[in-house]
């Protein structure tokens, strides 16, 4: 029987630095706000609640995630190597 051991990974995992943690916190807070805005916008038209919610929420969520991923990668601790 094959057992996958996730603890003995050959590549060490790097921890996030302070700036990256702040970006993750900001993304989390923005997602909660976007969820509230989406629910409010959907409550204005109860007949099409689901479509209104998804249109509003997804339109806010995608740019937030894209910018968040960009910033997390930008704030990496590793200095660039020019070799």
pLDDT in tens, 41-67: 999 999 999 999 999 999 999 999 999
pLDDT at 43: 95
Apex CA 27: angle with CA 17 and CA 53, to 5°? 165
**pTM (2 d.p.):** 0.73
pLDDT in tens, 7-37: 655 666 678 889 999 999 999 999 999 999 9
pLDDT at 29: 97
Give the Cα separation of 23 and 26 in Å (integer): 5
């Amino acid at each position: 029987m094959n057992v996958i051991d996730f603890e003995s990974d050959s590549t060490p995992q790097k921890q996030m630095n302070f700036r990256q943690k702040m970006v993750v916190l900001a993304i989390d807070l923005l997602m909660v706000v976007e969820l509230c805005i989406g629910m409010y916008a959907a409550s204005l038209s109860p007949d099409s609640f689901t479509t209104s919610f998804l249109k509003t929420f997804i339109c806010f969520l995608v740019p937030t995630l894209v910018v968040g991923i960009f910033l997390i990668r930008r704030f990496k601790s590793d200095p660039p190597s020019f070799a």
